[in-house]
Structure 1
Amino acid sequence: MTGAGGSGPTETRRTPRDTADPERTRRTAGSDRKRRSTDPDQTSRTVDRARRAARRAAEADAHLANQETDVHRPVSGRPAPDQPLRARWDPIDEPGRPRADRAKDRKKQSAVGRFVTTYGWRAYAIPVLVVLTIVMIVLTVQSHQDGGSDRVVDSDPDAVRNTNVRDQTTAIGAPPKSVPLEQLPAGVLPAGGPFTEKGAAGYHVVPGTTTRVGTGGQEYTYTVEVENGLASGDFGGDPTFAKLIDTTLANPKSWIGDGTVSFRRIDNGEPDFRVTLTSPDTTRQLCGYEIKLETSCYYPPESRVTLNEARWVRGATSYQGDDLGYRQYLINHEIGHAIGFEAHEPCKMNGSMAPIMMQQTFGTANSEIMALDPDMKANRDYVCNPNPWPFPER
Structure 2
Amino acid sequence: MEVRMSDGRRRMSDDVDAGSTPRGGVPGQRGDRTPYYPPHGEPLRAPWDPEEERTPGRRRSVPGARDHLRKQSPVGRFFTTWGWRAYAIPVLVVLTALVIADSVTGAGPGDGDTVGDAAQTPALMGEPPRGQVPPSGELPDGGPFEEAGEGVFRVVPGGTDRVGRPEAEQFTYTVEVEEGIDTTDFGGDDSVARMVDATLANPKSWTADGAVAFQRTSGDEPAFRVSLASPLTVRENCGYDIELETSCYNPSTDRVYLNLARWIRGARSFQGDIGSYRQYLVNHEVGHAIGYPDHEPCPADGALAPIMMQQTLGVANHEIFVLDNEGVVPDNDDTCLYNPWPYPDGPPVAR
Superposition TM-score tier, normalisation by shorter sequence:
0.5 to 0.7
**Counterpart code for 1:374:** N
Q: Deviations over 1:112-134 (max 9, x none)?
A: xxxxxxxxxxxxxxxxxxxxxxx
Q: TM-score, normalised by structure 1?
A: 0.59
Q: How many angstroms does 1:258 deviate by? A: 0.7
| Cα distance in 2, alignment partners of residues 205 and 383 from structure 1 | 39
**Counterpart code for 1:343:** D
SS at match of 1:211: coil
SS at match of 2:252: helix
Q: Which residue of 1 aligns with 2:80?
A: none
Q: How many angstroms does 1:180 deviate by? A: 2.4
More helix by share: 1
Q: Name the CA shift for 1:254/1:318 in 2 (closer, same or farther; >3 Å).
A: same
SS at match of 2:332: coil
**Counterpart code for 2:246:** T
| Cα distance in 2, alignment partners of residues 300 and 358 from structure 1 | 20
Give runs of aligned pairs for residues 352-371 of structure 1, distance below 5 A. Answer: 352-371=303-322
**Counterpart code for 1:354:** A
Q: Which residue of 2 aligns with 1:176?
A: 129
Among 162, 183, 188, which residue is 1:212 paired with?
A: 162
Q: Which residue of 2 aligns with 1:187?
A: 137
| Cα distance in 2, alignment partners of residues 231 and 270 from structure 1 | 26
| Cα distance in 1, alignment partners of residues 255 and 306 from structure 2 | 23
Q: Which residue of 1 aligns with 2:26?
A: 153
Q: Which residue of 2 aligns with 1:382?
A: 334
Q: How many angstroms does 1:163 deviate by? A: 2.2
Q: Name the CA shift for 1:285/1:374 in 2 (closer, same or farther; >3 Å).
A: same
**Count, aligned residues:** 242
Q: Name the CA shift for 1:169/1:235 in 2 (closer, same or farther; >3 Å).
A: farther
**Counterpart code for 1:163:** R
Asked if 1:343 is matched to 2:294, the reply is: yes
Q: Deviations over 1:194-235 (max 9, x none)?
A: 111001131110001111001152100000000000012244
Give runs of aligned pairs for residues 1-394 of structure 1, distance below 5 A. Answer: 147-153=20-26, 159-164=29-34, 169-177=122-130, 179-181=131-133, 184-215=134-165, 217-375=168-326, 376-378=328-330, 380-394=332-346
| Cα distance in 1, alignment partners of residues 30 and 246 from structure 2 | 24
Q: Deviations over 1:330-385 (max 9, x none)?
A: 00000000011111100001101000000000110000011222122536110000
Identical-residue share of aligned pairs (%): 52
Q: Which residue of 2 aligns with 1:41?
A: none
| Cα distance in 2, alignment partners of residues 257 and 194 from structure 1 | 36
**Counterpart code for 2:22:** S
Bigger radius of gyration among the two: 1
Q: Name the CA shift for 1:147/1:223 in 2 (closer, same or farther; >3 Å).
A: closer
Q: How many angstroms does 1:277 deviate by? A: 0.2
Q: Deviations over 1:67-86 (max 9, x none)?
A: xxxxxxxxxxxxxxxxxxxx
More moved, 371-380 vs 287-296: 371-380
Q: Name the CA shift for 1:168/1:348 in 2 (closer, same or farther; >3 Å).
A: farther
Contact 2:154 2:178 in 1 (8 A): yes
Contact 2:269 2:312 in 1 (8 A): yes
| Cα distance in 1, alignment partners of residues 151 and 279 from structure 2 | 27
Q: How many angstroms does 1:322 deviate by? A: 0.3
SS at match of 2:184: helix
**Counterpart code for 1:390:** P
Unmatched tracts of structure 2, length 5 or more: 1-17, 35-119, 347-351
**Counterpart code for 1:230:** I
Contact 2:298 2:336 in 1 (8 A): yes
Q: How many angstroms does 1:269 deviate by? A: 2.4
Q: Name the CA shift for 1:370/1:195 in 2 (closer, same or farther; >3 Å).
A: same
**Counterpart code for 1:162:** D
| Cα distance in 2, alignment partners of residues 146 and 349 from structure 1 | 10
| Cα distance in 1, alignment partners of residues 30 and 191 from structure 2 | 33
Q: Deviations over 1:170-203 (max 9, x none)?
A: 32110132x222xx11011001111110011311
Unmatched tracts of structure 1, length 5 or more: 1-144
SS at match of 1:302: coil
**Counterpart code for 1:274:** R
Q: Name the CA shift for 1:392/1:325 in 2 (closer, same or farther; >3 Å).
A: same
| Cα distance in 1, alignment partners of residues 277 and 150 from structure 2 | 26
Q: TM-score, normalised by structure 2?
A: 0.66
Contact 2:151 2:179 in 1 (8 A): yes
Over aligned residue pairs, what C-alpha RMSD do you find?
1.8
**Counterpart code for 1:170:** A
| Cα distance in 2, alignment partners of residues 279 and 234 from structure 1 | 15
